[in-house]
Chain A
Amino acid sequence: MTNIPPPPQIEFTNVTKTYGTVTAVKDISFSVGRGEFVTILGPSGSGKTTTLMLLSGFETATSGDIRLAGQSITSVPSWRRDQGIVFQNYALFPHLTVRRNLEFPLEMRGIAAAERRRRVDRILERVHLSGYEDRVPRQLSGGQQQRVALARALVADPPVLLLDEPLGALDRNLREQMQGEIKTLHREFGMTTICVTHDQEEALTLSDRIVVMRGGRIEQIDTPEQLYDRPASRFVANFLGEANILSGLDVPALPEGPVPVGSVAMIRPERVRILPCDAAPAPDAGRRQRVAGTVAGVVFAGPIRKYEVRSDSATLSVREHVSSEQPVFAAGDTVALEWLRSDLRVVAE
């Protein structure tokens, strides 16, 4: 897959936002290509929501510049931006029918009644809600409300779509279904999409790239795979999935050389194998590292089994796919843990 970056559609340059003495966003810069799906991921208080507020025009940056297709929009109020937003709680107008909700952005853009009707019908069909025009939001299920919110954000065909924790209110099954839906819509409409979430799974599934934020700064920007496989910091490693930090263990020289000061070696639990303590070494033992340990806990979680193994001063977690070829260990068993040295990662402390 060739990866020629499209021209930037959205560009943040040294953007800072302070509220009184609190700095919500510190000097962030990133750009998003046309048609790209970028997720801003971070724990609460990381500045991700502020970033979205700046992007949507609800807040104005204290310093720095935000550009849309090359044009500065730093101090353009939200009602003069051509954008669609799906709000966390959908923010559907409770006093208006689905049709009137969807017509709202079209009306504000001065689109005549006949054309409004046509476009609303088309988008409703697209989100499988034809026939629901005359309902009011409270007569719809959560999933349907989510679809209406998406349709309302897309009906005016904006070049930019912003999603604020779009799936937070849905249950697990519906969430997965809607993730697929959003992906399809994105492919079909091709609008540049920025999604803000604290849900790492959502971020990994949906995005072309992920911006990980922490304490108002950008921690790392990368594709989901790179981010998961090569996290830049211990924070990113922990935030996206589980990570075994090997600080208490004697880590032999890595392929890249010794672990530098201020960094730690990390390995994902699914890259660790758990073996009986007397297992014969593999033929390529030179490429592997093996440590002895005692099982401290076992959790059966359907397709996988999670072990907590105590070894020297560290406790490592291991995930193994449940399989009939695998021996099952119990708490107290002495085991050996083994991994490929090339699977070790060095991350900033």
Chain B
Amino acid sequence: MLVSPLSLLRRPQWLSLPAIAILFVAFGLPIAWLFLDSLAAPNYSLAYYKAFFAQPANIRVLFQTVEISAIATAISLAIGYPVAYFIARSSRRLRMALIVLVVIPYLTSLLARTYAWIVILGDQGLINNLLRDLGIISRPLALIYNRGAVYVGMVHIMLPMMILPLVSVMMGIDRSLMSAARSMGARPFAAFWRVFMPLSLPGVRSGCLLVFVLCLGFYITPASLGGLKDAMLSTFIAAQATSSFDMARTAAAAFVLLGIALLVLALFGADLGSAAGPGGTAPRRGLLARLLPAGLLRRIGESATPWRASRWKAELNRSGHASRIPGRLLALGAGLVITFLLFPGIVVVVMSFSGGTFLEFPPSSLSLQWYRSFFSDPSWTGAAWTSVRIAAVVALFATVIGSLAAYALSRSGPRLRGAVTLLLITPITIPVIVVGIAVYLGLVQFNLIGTMSGIIIAHTLGAIGYAVVIVQATLANFDTRLERAAMSMRAGPMRTFRRVTLPLIFPGILGGAVFAFIHSFDEVVISSLVSGMSLRTLPLKMWENMRHQIDPTIAAVASLMMLLPVIWMVAIYVNWQIGNRAARLPDGGDNT
């Protein structure tokens, strides 16, 4: 069927085609291929899977991967929930500030953050040096290269991704519900437990799913901070993919990992879609209620009835007030967690200015020597320049393709929109190592391994996902009546888009571009697979450096990379302010 440009405008659904096409070619086909490979096509047998499970070492690593991911998720939830609660309950201004403080580490390079933990936890690191100087210990404590360090590093990386969905769900919980519960005799904790907590469960679920699946595929931090015993399946897959050419065995391992991720998503995320829909008769039961035999909780609650009755009588109309202690503990805890999130970055930035031959904290003298060493070493500056160029092209591609897709999806029915969105964000929702292997395989076919174009294609896949999500969120708030208004004033579809739609959704597009840029600039797992040893991006150079020798120059690099999110935040803020001012201009003094 031929599609004329005019009908393209009438049926904007077609605009999502470029995004779908690139996903299909660079990821869909290869992963199908990979799957067939793992099934030993064309003979079709489960031999490779059998071989995988026949090795006890594999099973141990698999179990360990799930265990580390689950525990890291649990810790993130345990720490993140109270912090999210605190943020959601804060005043508007404080909330904005706290969200920014949570987002800054999220936008900071993963490698820079992981490196920071090496500096803090290492044998010659901040904590050990401090304790030794204080005379508390004589030999360094084993703080790094063990499971504990893995959890510290992973939780640090994952916390923002736990906190942000929680905050967004919690902010949607009507405060008057808690007041209502109290007015009916529920003490503050009962009001929280019976009303707030159940309503926050969707946030708990999306946060946990996000963190768990990311943990499954993300091996940089465990590999840097853990010992040899703390290997993850993804480490294993990455090593196999680059060292051996037995694609089928690697593929089988990758699909085992993907299988676990999909299983968990299916088990806990199956009703993600239906939760938003207006259908459904009975309310969904809480996770706890689903795990425990039905009625047990009810019976436990019922047994407290006489006690409740006597307390109600005893306390009726008695003066008192809610204890301030929980609130203060919460504030203190939130402060500590935010410090935990920001501290490593601060340490690295301060250390990068140290004047000695080693990195020290606090530095005994100040110098710019490591920055000098960075800028005078062509292997560093070259890598940085490569990364910037790649990220810029990726940001451009992903933003254009992603925005077109988002626009198309915003004009589609909810079912199509849901399905296509889910498809387009696959590269950022399944374990990254699986994406890496598939893309690697795809690029091999086109002879693009080790080329800039190859890396750009690989990064664009994930970057499109971010762009689509962010632009779509902006479009969801866009009032389509404005377009009709413009058309009623004789503006054609193109002009309407250029003069009305585009300016209004521009902040979202810019946000999408920022995320696309950061995604590419920070990407290391997929890059390490498709760079083919010949091309060095900045994260790859850092990663190599961290594994082989700790060159203090890396502190300067990490500091420079931490500057990036700050620049982005300022850019977004300025853009937002300009947008606000523009919006306020026409009617002069509003809110006065």
- Chain A interface residues toward B at CB < 8 A: 56-58, 60, 68, 71-85, 87-89, 91-97, 104-105, 107-113, 134-136, 138-139, 152, 156
What's the Cα separation between A77 and B282 when bound, in Å?
Answer: 33
Kindly provide the distance from the CB of B33 to the nearest chain A CB, expressed in whole angstroms: 45
B91 within 8 A of A: no
B195 within 8 A of A: yes
Q: Which residues of B contact A80 (CB under 8 A)?
A: 185, 315-318, 320
- Chain B interface residues toward A at CB < 8 A: 174, 176-177, 179-188, 190-191, 194-195, 198-199, 278, 281-284, 301-302, 304-312, 315-322
Query: In the complex the two chains form, is B305's CB within 8 Å of A111's CB?
Result: yes
Given contacts A77-B182, A77-B321, whether A91 and B305 have CB atoms under 8 Å apart is no
Query: In the complex the two chains form, is A85's CB within 8 Å of B180's CB?
Result: yes
Query: In the complex the two chains form, is B184's CB within 8 Å of A156's CB?
Result: yes
What's the Cα separation between A68 and B319 when bound, in Å?
Answer: 13
Q: Which residues of A contact B312 (CB under 8 A)?
A: 108-110
Query: In the complex the two chains form, is B179's CB within 8 Å of A91's CB?
Result: yes
When C-beta atoms are compared, the residue in chain B nearest to A105 turns out to be B184
Q: Which residues of A contact B184 (CB under 8 A)?
A: 79, 84, 104-105, 108, 152, 156
Given contacts A88-B176, A89-B176, whether A111 and B283 have CB atoms under 8 Å apart is no
What's the Cα separation between A123 and B574 when bound, in Å?
Answer: 56
What's the Cα separation between A186 and B198 when bound, in Å?
Answer: 34
Query: In the complex the two chains form, is B309's CB within 8 Å of A110's CB?
Result: yes
Query: In the complex the two chains form, is B317's CB within 8 Å of A68's CB?
Result: yes
Q: Which residues of B contact A87 (CB under 8 A)?
A: 176, 179-180
Query: In the complex the two chains form, is B177's CB within 8 Å of A91's CB?
Result: yes
What's the Cα separation between A64 and B248 when bound, in Å?
Answer: 80
Interface centre among B180, B310, B312 (most CB of A within 10 A): B180
Query: In the complex the two chains form, is B180's CB within 8 Å of A110's CB?
Result: no
Q: Which residues of A contact B306 (CB under 8 A)?
A: 110
Query: In the complex the two chains form, is B176's CB within 8 Å of A110's CB?
Result: no
Given contacts A94-B199, A97-B283, A134-B282, whether A108 and B308 have CB atoms under 8 Å apart is yes
Q: Which of B176, B177, B281, B320 lies in contact with A77, CB distance below 8 A?
A: B320
Query: In the complex the two chains form, is A79's CB within 8 Å of B182's CB?
Result: yes
Q: Which residues of A contact B198 (CB under 8 A)?
A: 95
Kindly provide the distance from the CB of B250 to the nearest chain A CB, expressed in whole angstroms: 45
When C-beta atoms are compared, the residue in chain B nearest to A83 turns out to be B183
Query: In the complex the two chains form, is B177's CB within 8 Å of A93's CB?
Result: yes
Q: Which residues of B contact A84 (CB under 8 A)?
A: 183-184
Given contacts A73-B317, A91-B176, A152-B184, whether A110 and B310 have CB atoms under 8 Å apart is yes
Query: In the complex the two chains form, is A79's CB within 8 Å of B195's CB?
Result: no
Query: In the complex the two chains form, is B317's CB within 8 Å of A107's CB?
Result: no
Interface centre among A56, A95, A135 (most CB of B within 10 A): A95
Query: In the complex the two chains form, is B183's CB within 8 Å of A85's CB?
Result: yes
Query: In the complex the two chains form, is B176's CB within 8 Å of A111's CB?
Result: no
What's the Cα separation between A73 and B315 when bound, in Å?
Answer: 12
Q: Is the interface of A mostly helix, strand, loop or mixed?
A: loop
Given contacts A110-B306, A110-B310, whether A95 and B283 have CB atoms under 8 Å apart is yes
Given contacts A91-B174, A107-B308, A112-B305, whether A76 and B318 have CB atoms under 8 Å apart is yes
Q: Which residues of B contact A77 (CB under 8 A)?
A: 182, 320-322
Query: In the complex the two chains form, is B317's CB within 8 Å of A110's CB?
Result: no
Kindly provide the distance from the CB of A192 to the nearest chain B CB, expressed in whole angstroms: 15
When C-beta atoms are compared, the residue in chain A nearest to B320 turns out to be A77
When C-beta atoms are compared, the residue in chain A nearest to B184 turns out to be A105
Residue contacts A-B, CB under 8 angstroms, 8 given? A73-B317, A76-B317, A76-B318, A89-B176, A91-B179, A93-B181, A95-B195, A156-B185
When C-beta atoms are compared, the residue in chain A nearest to B181 turns out to be A104
When C-beta atoms are compared, the residue in chain A nearest to B173 turns out to be A94
Excluding A93-B180, A108-B185, 17 further A-B contacts by CB distance (< 8 Å) are A56-B183, A75-B319, A77-B322, A78-B182, A79-B184, A80-B185, A85-B183, A87-B176, A87-B179, A91-B176, A92-B180, A93-B177, A97-B282, A110-B312, A113-B305, A139-B281, A156-B184
Q: Which residues of A contact B307 (CB under 8 A)?
A: 110
What's the Cα separation between A80 and B195 when bound, in Å?
Answer: 18
In order of increasing CB-CB distance, the 5 nearest A-B pairs are A110-B309, A110-B308, A108-B185, A105-B184, A91-B180
Query: In the complex the two chains form, is B302's CB within 8 Å of A113's CB?
Result: yes
Kindly provide the distance from the CB of A182 to the nearest chain B CB, expressed in whole angstroms: 18
Given contacts A109-B308, A110-B305, A152-B184, whether A76 and B282 have CB atoms under 8 Å apart is no
What's the Cα separation between A146 and B402 when bound, in Å?
Answer: 44
Kindly provide the distance from the CB of B567 to the nearest chain A CB, expressed in whole angstroms: 37
What's the Cα separation between A97 and B198 when bound, in Å?
Answer: 13
Q: Which residues of B contact A88 (CB under 8 A)?
A: 176
Query: In the complex the two chains form, is A89's CB within 8 Å of B317's CB?
Result: no
Kindly provide the distance from the CB of A85 to the nearest chain B CB, expressed in whole angstroms: 4
When C-beta atoms are compared, the residue in chain B nearest to A104 turns out to be B184
Q: Which of A75, A83, A107 lies in contact with B320, CB distance below 8 A?
A: A75
Query: In the complex the two chains form, is B320's CB within 8 Å of A78's CB?
Result: no
Q: Which of B176, B187, B278, B310 lies in contact with A138, CB distance below 8 A?
A: B278
Kindly provide the distance from the CB of A82 to the nearest chain B CB, expressed in whole angstroms: 6
Q: Which residues of B contact A139 (CB under 8 A)?
A: 281
Q: Which residues of B contact A58 (CB under 8 A)?
A: 179, 182-183
When C-beta atoms are compared, the residue in chain A nearest to B179 turns out to be A58
Query: In the complex the two chains form, is B176's CB within 8 Å of A79's CB?
Result: no
What's the Cα separation between A94 and B282 when bound, in Å?
Answer: 11
When C-beta atoms are compared, the residue in chain A nearest to B183 turns out to be A85
Query: In the complex the two chains form, is B185's CB within 8 Å of A79's CB?
Result: yes
Query: In the complex the two chains form, is B316's CB within 8 Å of A60's CB?
Result: no
Q: Which residues of A contact B315 (CB under 8 A)?
A: 80
Kindly provide the distance from the CB of A208 to the nearest chain B CB, expressed in whole angstroms: 23
Kindly provide the distance from the CB of A110 to the nearest chain B CB, expressed in whole angstroms: 3
What's the Cα separation between A140 and B562 when bound, in Å?
Answer: 51
Q: Which residues of B contact A71 (CB under 8 A)?
A: 317
Kindly provide the distance from the CB of B485 to the nearest chain A CB, expressed in whole angstroms: 27
Kindly provide the distance from the CB of A150 to the nearest chain B CB, expressed in whole angstroms: 13
Query: In the complex the two chains form, is A60's CB within 8 Å of B321's CB?
Result: yes
When C-beta atoms are compared, the residue in chain A nearest to B313 turns out to be A110
Query: In the complex the two chains form, is B185's CB within 8 Å of A109's CB?
Result: yes
